[in-house]
Amino acid sequence: MRPTRIEISASALRNNIALFRRIAPGTVLIAVVKANAYGHGMELVARTIEPLVDMFGVAFVEEGAALRVAGITKPILVLMTPTVSDAETIVAERLDVVACSLDVMQQIDRVARSRAQRIGAHVYVDTGMHRDGILPEEVPAFVEACAQLDGIELVGICTHFARSDERDCTMTTEQNRRFARVLDQLQAKGYRFPLVHAANTGAALQHPATHYSALRIGIGLYGIAPGEVYAPQLQPVLRLRTAVTAVRRIQAGEPVSYGTYYHAPVPTTIATIPIGYGDGFSRILTGQAECLIGGKCYPIVGAICMDECLVDVGNDPVAIGDEVVLIGSQGTQAITASQIAQRMGTIPYEVTTLLHHRIERQLVE
């Protein structure tokens, strides 16, 4: 059996949830597990933390349905705009939705009423990101129209911040001001929502005025601070490990891997490890990636292959079966998703989300 594994730390998940509980006591915690829990394993993570959180957030209806199949019973909010064709599944799986389109809400209403059900809806206000949602000036009329639908229960109202992970809080402050103005307008008309949520991880950590009655925590749940946010209390949840499967000695000048981009400058030992871009360990990292073996950092050399990588371990006594860590800690050394993201020119969200389903996820303490 291939030794490549992703270890998911239950204790790190508990630590991170407890941190957000302390930051905003008394608020509802929506754990965002979309995109396979940012690569961590959606069903595994959700089952592990269900007793510790209040709701789950997913991107699409299919993800919500998969959580129901996995046995999740707590509320699930679909965060992306649903379509008319999603209505049957939304009602069948008892999913909450963001309300952005009256046509969609009317279709959900028809299906819900036919089954004597009510579906929870969260009015999504576009305060400046301009990706999804209702423009502030259109929200009152939209809410009034939705309130007439017997199969819809307006349980929440929300917005999403575009730059809450930056030290410059100008845009976040302005978006929050627009959101607060909408809340005031709706309250004056007699509309109140049990769940008011705007804060993602960055806002939860940096902008207390955005906490309202619920937090939507995604990347922070997994122990990664977004953007410029400093949060040393977070503990990384994911550890990507494998093992050496072959060791060979090569001479100075000999090439390694596809394209022969790398030639050994001196006689050296090359270790083969069974992970590659087919697992989501990106080929973009060719010539930049490192790994840990025996608590020491070594360069991954040559082109990253679909299923394997090659490691230059010099003259060190590395053996077949030795553990290799690509993300996470080993001994006193660590490689973080953020470090890898910097080398790829991307963000840590992408690094972990790229990790393929073919890598087995295991829960550890």
270 in the same domain as 158: no
Q: Out of 196, 221, 246, pick the residue that ends a domain.
A: 221
Q: Would 193 be classed as within a structural domain?
A: yes
How many distinct structural domains can be found in the chain?
2
What's the rounded Cα separation, in Å, for the pair 6 and 284? 21
Catalytic residue among 189, 258, 262, 349: 258
303 in the same domain as 192: no
In 3D, which of 260, 237, 255, 254 has the Cα closest to residue 355?
237
What confidence score (pLDDT) does residue 215 get?
98
What confidence score (pLDDT) does residue 173 get?
98
Q: Would 251 be classed as within a structural domain?
A: yes
Q: Out of 160, 194, 221, pick the residue that ends a domain.
A: 221
188 in the same domain as 248: no
What's the rounded Cα separation, in Å, for the pair 142 and 147? 9
Asked if 52 and 14 touch (Cβ cutoff 8 Å), the reply is yes
What confidence score (pLDDT) does residue 86 get?
98
What confidence score (pLDDT) does residue 200 get?
98
Low-confidence stretches of the chain (pLDDT beneath 50): none
In 3D, which of 219, 144, 221, 212 has the Cα closest to residue 175?
212
What's the rounded Cα separation, in Å, for the pair 349 and 352? 6
| Whether 296 is catalytic | no
335 in the same domain as 280: yes
What's the rounded Cα separation, in Å, for the pair 114 and 92? 11
Domain residues for the domain of 155 are: 10-221
Q: Would 233 be classed as within a structural domain?
A: no
> pLDDT tens for residues 323-337?
999 999 999 999 999
Q: Would 3 be classed as within a structural domain?
A: no
What CATH number did the domain enclosing 250 receive?
2.40.37.10
84 in the same domain as 181: yes
What confidence score (pLDDT) does residue 43 get?
98
Please give the span between the terminal C-alpha atoms of the chain, in angstroms, as a whole number.
Answer: 23
288 in the same domain as 252: yes
| Whether 38 is catalytic | no
Catalytic residue among 34, 124, 191, 298: 34
